[in-house]
Amino acid sequence: MVHFPVGLLCVALLLEIVGWSRKSTDLRAGITALIWIGAISSVVAAILGLILINQEEYGGDTVTIHQWSGLATMALALLTVFAVQTRRLVLYRSLLFLTVFGVTIAGHYGALLTHGEDYLTSVLPFGNEKQSPTTTDPNLAFISNTSSQPLDAKQIEDLNLEVRSILAHNCYSCHSATKMKGELRLDTKELLMKGGENGPILKAGHPEDSDMIRRVKLPAGHDDAMPTKGKRLTDKEIAVLEFWIKQGAPWPSGAQKSIYRVAALEPRMPAVPAATGDLTNPIDRFVNAYFQQHKLTWKAPVDDRTYLRRVYLDVIGLLPTPEKIQSFTADPRPNKRELLVTELLNQNDAYAQHWLTFWNDALRNDYSGTGYITGGRFDITKWLYASLKNNKPYNLFVKELISPTKESEGFIKGIKWRGTINSSQSTEMQAAQNVAQVFLGLNLKCASCHDSFISDWKLADAYAFANVFSDTTLEIHRCDKPTGKIAGRAILFKELGTINGEAPTAERLRELAEFMTQPKDGRLYRTLVNRVWAQLMGRGLVEPVDMMDNAPWSQDLLDWLAADFAANGYDIKKLMANILTSKTYQLPSISVKDPALLTAPTFVFEGMVRRRMSAEQFADAVSLAFNPVYGDSALAEKRLPENIKQEIPFPRASLVKNDPFLTALGRPNRETVSTSRTSQANLLQALELTNGAKFNAALKQGAERWKAKYPTSDRLVNQLYWNALGRAPQPKELAVAEKIVGKTPNVEGIQDLVWAISLHPEFQLIN
């Protein structure tokens, strides 16, 4: 009803072509009406589209292209109306053509989002030949294997996950606990095998005799065809179901009936492999065993300058000074890297100011934004800054967030949204979702609306956990509709303890904090060490970091890091020191052409993943190397500790309110938990660094200051290179730079040179 009227612009163009060919104006009134309807509809569609994209978990290039092409179409439609009203015929026809082109592009990408990549080919009478049961997922390559060898446990697990995904996305809307059409449920083994009102739907070992396969193969429109609505199953999906049934329709049995991988809850301390040569750090010994398994050899460690810059940015978020670079590279002591790590970790304020960014993202703490105006949100900045500065033990850190003081309660209080919201966004449910995601690497968002399609967590589990944070017991809402049921109160992992549902809220939260931080909750500590590893190495042992049930690339290393972390007093700085001083951290960085490879099950660890500076690191690097991006007035003073120590002569970007500059470079709005940021450059970032007012003003101001300080080009260029890149310019670089700034430096030339260096990969990347 919203998008269809936009398509009337296509009809308007067709009628315009007819009128033009006939040299007639008889259709003008109708064409004008169609253009007005289409333009108004495009505005409504754009508004609703922007609302939808912020409410649903859309992502990827397709939705981005659809969004911007839709907004461009709206703008063109409005300009077309203007041209019609002002009787500018040539301009009007040109704009109408461009508008229809925009409708076509936006419509195409919208159809990809709604109906899938085969939305056109799936309805064509040709090109739908039966495909072989191969799959692009390397975990399912065995499906196309004609060998009669029985499947191993891992293959059965992967096959079950694929089958469950097919059923969840195509069948559960009619055949699950929510709705049992034809008395058929497909979400449990017993009920699937039982069948529906017409009897069993599959015969194990015989897909050709299974009614399930017969129905999904029937043509659309047939009375028995399944699914009855939505997209039909693809040939590959049908082939997977056939293969599964041919294998006997295996389904997990026994105590663990989940078809999803479920990570162990309890801690585990694996035996550390034997030391070899100079590989004495336990991390290196585990990685060495991994390398041997994957037939990889150790590469030479990075040079001193690369290591120095890397560890500076990772620990305190700043570039090393030229003086520090020169003294460190000249230092002959064999343990100078270990001493450097200790020195940086002891810079408590600088450490806190850098890691504040990471925890602000994760704990969705900010200095302005939704909720602060109305008092429906509370910041935890003073508490968080002090906790980081004092290196508060992580178990105590978590306790004070779950069973909070006045200064730390903002995290579980969530955001009290204005107006009517759906039940899955109540403050109590926000607390449940956020605690599960941040501390346990667990996604409860699906299960906050309905039984999850991506895990075994149920709607009742999410509500029982949300009720722990609630002063009243919440009624369960399924897809925002009340069910009349109450879930009670319970912790997610019941092995950790039983919550007293009758106790006051404060007492329940104290119980929850004690249960979650006890040593036997290995998941809590695995989640933390995995997050720290991901921050320092560019990729977690488990990816994504919020899906801790996924398999790590080294289970032993993950378990050892978590167990050692707990054994050493939950000391995050000690954990970091172990990683930063390892030979593993000192390996040369690697790059990947496709970011999706980092989360692929075929990922093989070879070293730190090269990554782009965060928005805050980039702003601080420009400020330190050339000129402050932010002045003192940018500090979020009311929300910062009074005894904050600034060790540099400008405000750190982590301490300032969000603005278009930081947003463009990747700082999230922090209205939802954000535990990772994309490292890929994008168009918005390029536009901001090219035309952004904040960045250009800082460069211009700095250029004027540098011109006054450095009267000759060679001195200016040399100092800039040392400040920004930690080295002197090469002869060719010096010649080009001097040509840019002029024999006698001028403001515009200096500004251009700094802009070019700041966009250079050597400056932007953590190598």
pLDDT score for 729: 97
- Report the alpha-carbon distance of residue 612 to residue 761 in Å, rounded: 8
Find where tokens 């700043």 sit: 318
103/147 same-domain check: no
Is the sign of the CA dihedral 356, 361, 367, 371 positive or negative?
Answer: negative
Residues 6+ away with beta carbon under 8 Å from 399: 513, 514, 517
pLDDT score for 531: 98
Q: Where are the alpha helices (DSSP H) in 457-545?
A: 459-468, 505-517, 522-537
- Report the alpha-carbon distance of residue 514 to residue 429 in Å, rounded: 20
160/238 same-domain check: yes
Last residue of some domain: 210, 227, 246? 246
The fraction of the chain above a pLDDT of 90, given in percent, is 63
Residue 132: closest CA among 258, 239, 245, 9: 239
The more confident residue out of 656 and 127 is 656
Of 217-221, 237-241, 314-318, 371-375, highest mean pLDDT: 314-318
Contact status, residue 224 vs residue 230, Cβ threshold 8 Å = no
110/157 same-domain check: no
The two tokens of residue 309 are 């810059």
State mean pLDDT over 429-441. Answer: 97
Per-residue pLDDT of 221-246, as tens digits, reads: 788 888 876 678 998 899 999 999 99
Instruction: Say yes or no to pLDDT of 498 above 90.
Output: yes
118/25 same-domain check: yes
The fraction of the chain above a pLDDT of 70, given in percent, is 92
Note the residue count of the chain: 767
Of 68-72, 170-174, 332-336, 741-745, highest mean pLDDT: 332-336
CA 763 to chain centre: 24
Contact status, residue 618 vs residue 317, Cβ threshold 8 Å = no
Contact status, residue 258 vs residue 456, Cβ threshold 8 Å = yes
The 8-class DSSP code of residue 474 comes to P
Indicate whether 27 belongs to any domain.
Answer: yes
Largest CA distance in the chain: 90
Residue type, 302: V
Res. 255 pLDDT band, cuts 50 70 90: very low
The secondary element (H helix, E strand) that includes residue 762 is helix 761-764
Last residue of some domain: 467, 497, 517? 517
The more confident residue out of 172 and 611 is 611
Per-residue pLDDT of 500-511, as tens digits, reads: 999 999 999 999
The two tokens of residue 331 are 């230092």
Mean pLDDT over each residue of the chain, to the nearest integer: 90
- Report the alpha-carbon distance of residue 292 to residue 411 in Å, rounded: 44
pLDDT score for 112: 65
Last residue of some domain: 483, 517, 551? 517
The two tokens of residue 92 are 């009007």
Per-residue pLDDT of 91-147, as tens digits, reads: 988 999 999 998 888 888 777 666 555 456 555 555 444 344 444 455 566 676 655
Per-residue pLDDT of 627-654, as tens digits, reads: 999 998 888 887 888 888 887 889 999 9
CA 121 to chain centre: 32
142/236 same-domain check: yes
Could you tell me the residue range of the domain that residue 721 belongs to? 692-767
146/88 same-domain check: no
12/119 same-domain check: yes
Q: ∠ at Cα 51 (46, 57), nearest 5°?
A: 115
- Report the alpha-carbon distance of residue 117 to residue 114 in Å, rounded: 9
144/240 same-domain check: yes
State mean pLDDT over 737-752. Answer: 94
- Report the alpha-carbon distance of residue 496 to residue 57 in Å, rounded: 31
Instruction: Say yes or no to pLDDT of 576 above 60.
Output: yes
Instruction: Say yes or no to pLDDT of 367 above 50.
Output: yes
If 0-12 CB within 10 Å is exposed, 13-18 middle and 19+ buried, where does residue 706 land?
A: buried
Contact status, residue 205 vs residue 248, Cβ threshold 8 Å = yes
- Report the alpha-carbon distance of residue 175 to residue 217 in Å, rounded: 18
pTM of the model: 0.75
Res. 172 pLDDT band, cuts 50 70 90: confident
The CB density around residue 349, as the number of other CB atoms within 10 Å, is: 18
- Report the alpha-carbon distance of residue 43 to residue 6 in Å, rounded: 9
Residue 195: closest CA among 146, 249, 126: 249
The two tokens of residue 109 are 């990408």
478/427 same-domain check: yes
Q: How many domains does the chain have?
A: 4
Indicate whether 684 belongs to any domain.
Answer: no
Indicate whether 38 belongs to any domain.
Answer: yes
164/83 same-domain check: no
Indicate whether 73 belongs to any domain.
Answer: yes
Indicate whether 742 belongs to any domain.
Answer: yes
pLDDT score for 133: 42
462/512 same-domain check: yes
The secondary element (H helix, E strand) that includes residue 113 is helix 89-115
Ranges 224-228, 637-641, 691-695, 725-729: which has the least confidence? 637-641
Indicate whether 676 belongs to any domain.
Answer: no
pLDDT score for 130: 39
Residue type, 313: L
- Residue 486: beta bridge partners? 475
Indicate whether 438 belongs to any domain.
Answer: yes
Instruction: Say yes or no to pLDDT of 57 above 50.
Output: no
Instruction: Say yes or no to pLDDT of 287 above 60.
Output: yes
Find where tokens 């033990």 sit: 393
Indicate whether 361 belongs to any domain.
Answer: no
119/147 same-domain check: no
CA 29 to chain centre: 50
